[in-house]
Homo-oligomer: A and B are copies of this chain.
Amino acid sequence: MQHSSNLTVQEYLSRREAFINDERSLRREHARLLTLSDAETQADRVVRQIRAKEAQMIWSATNDGMQHMFPGMEFLMARDIIVKTKLFDILTKMPKGALLHGHLDAMVNTRTLLRLALEQPAIHIRIPNALTSSSIKTTLPQFGALPRGQWASSPSLTHAAYKSGEWVQIQKARETFDASLGGPEGFDNWVIGCLTINPAEAYVTHKTTDKIWEKFASIFRGLILYEPIWYPYIKEFFRTSVDDGISFIEARINFGYKCVFLLFSHAWPCQTMCNAEGHNVLPAREWVRAFGRAVEDVKREMKDQGREDAFLGAKIIYTTIRMYTPEELEWYLEECLTLKQEFPDLIAGFDLVGHEDSLHPLIYYLPQLLRFQERQKELGIDVPFIFHAGETLGDGTPADVNLYDAILLGTKRIGHGFSLAKHPRLMQICKERGILVEMCPISNEILRLTSSMPTHPLPIIVNHGVPVALCSDDPAIFGNMGLSFDYFQVLVSSEITGLTTLGQIARDSLEHSTLEGEAKAHALAVWEKRWQQFCKEVAALEP
């Protein structure tokens, strides 16, 4: 009896192994597991050992300020701990492939952006009322470049004589910032606080999706729409991305001139880009041209440093906000086509952005979007849709239903696709047609679609075999600069995911980029070489 029972246990165990393996084979890295190099195998093992050790030594700790620690915990509270881990240090060196989903407005560290702005005498700042120790917590500034003739000599933002909406030169505003509010350093902290989301906002005062979007939407634009800042800003973005192991970029740029800001309870028109003289006139083609110049310049820099392979270029996904009328959208679609004709190598796709739960769904613009595709045929050009869709907790809401329309309209990839896990057929289609999902785990967490990484749907999507890329979305606002933080949070939140999975994700980001033909083959070959080198270095580490 004992013997026959043992036999049954053996039979069971071999059936079990096959059963688990059969499901795991749906994952995209699975085929790869059979052909790993020794270095890859060993590197994956080292990373798992370090992860297990840090889960125990670092993420199980408790202290007064941080009662509930766990791997993949709330990013804004975990960040200072993450940067000290060995695992994070490893990931900063990993070649990440492409950054496929990042909004240009929020791609450079806020402190750096402020430094760039302080160098420009044309940049001004205004607020609704003079700042006091009580109003400073809730007062948001607006920034703008003014023509030389209008440069202001107004008093300090913190002076009782300050009048609502008066422009003050940013450098002067900083110098005259009242000592009781911290002086110049207090100015920096206040501005940076306005341009980022802090833990108290995400996890206490604004902890639902709708509320945190109010804060989030208040942050955008302003400082970078000035030609003398725009160009160095983009170069800074490229350089820091390269430093994080990103070798190719598709940046979403918002060409929404007509947007208005709801600030101080009344709407102010959003400026277009100002030229160096502070005139509100710089046309979109100049934005694109400067972007192209930054690409070439940083490529040249890298070549001069003997790091030619570190940066293979960048393109633009033309976006505008899903708040316009269909007629207004037509204007933007035409502008996008015009730009594509002038800059065929820079314009990579079209997208609509903004809070899906409250703004217009794709179906609202159906005739215009269909017409856009016809126009491309007429013009003999190709501008694929790369739509945001399903960035929502809804089940059957318009934002969730956007996923059907994105796919029916032939989207090349899906931005966010947070609710895709609810759609068995759509996941199957994404898999069959190779529609990659640009997942933004830290963005989703801070914008309160998930309370922390262990509850994020990414493992569902990955286990179904849908191709994904990891993306930072708006890192200047969230604090997840580069891609290392998003890779980190994903790696520590699953026992299945390992370094091999991350490698597949990086490879897929290039595979599903808008690179084509030889350029894509080159990018993949360069990445593979860097990857093997990286794995060798990790394999040699002490776990």
Contact = CB atoms under 8 A, between A and B. Distances in A.
Contacts of A531: none
B9 A366 contact: yes
Given A395-B497, A493-B395, A496-B395, A12 B455 contact: no
A459 B401 contact: no
Given A394-B495, A395-B496, A454-B393, A12 B68 contact: no
A207 interface: yes
Given A211-B68, A394-B495, A367 B5 contact: yes
Interface in A359-375: 363, 366-367, 370-371, 374
A395 B22 CA distance: 16
A494 B419 CA distance: 12
Contact of A23 (B8, B393, B425, B493): B425
Interface string A382-424: 0000000000011111001100110010000000000001111
Interface residues of A, number: 59
B370 A9 contact: yes
A331 interface: no
B68 A495 contact: no
A21 to B, nearest CB: 10
A30 to B, nearest CB: 13
A208 B424 contact: no
A495 B68 CA distance: 33
B423 A23 contact: yes
Nearest to A465: B424
A463 B421 CA distance: 10
A16 B404 CA distance: 7
Given A396-B495, A451-B455, A464-B424, A371 B22 contact: no
Interface string A76-101: 00000000000000000000000000
A36 interface: no
Number of copies: 2
Contacts of A464: 424
A395 B363 CA distance: 36
Contacts of A5: 367, 370-371, 374
A32 B401 CA distance: 23
A72 to B, nearest CB: 9
A395 B494 contact: yes
A426 B396 contact: no
A20 interface: yes
Given A12-B370, A367-B5, A370-B9, A422 B463 contact: yes
Contacts of A421: 421, 457, 460
Nearest to A205: B67
B395 A495 contact: yes
Contacts of A210: 70
Given A460-B421, A460-B460, A15 B455 contact: no
A58 interface: no
A67 B206 CA distance: 9
Interface string A330-373: 00000000000000000000000000000000010011001100
A15 B208 CA distance: 35
A492 to B, nearest CB: 11
Contact of A22 (B16, B367, B425): B425
Contacts of A106: none
Interface string A1-15: 000011011001101
Question: Which are the 7 A-B pairs with shortest beta-carbon distances?
Answer: A396-B495, A396-B496, A451-B451, A395-B494, A393-B454, A23-B425, A395-B459
20 contacts: A5-B371, A9-B370, A12-B370, A12-B408, A22-B425, A23-B425, A26-B425, A68-B208, A393-B455, A394-B454, A394-B495, A395-B493, A395-B495, A395-B497, A396-B495, A397-B495, A423-B463, A450-B455, A451-B451, A455-B455
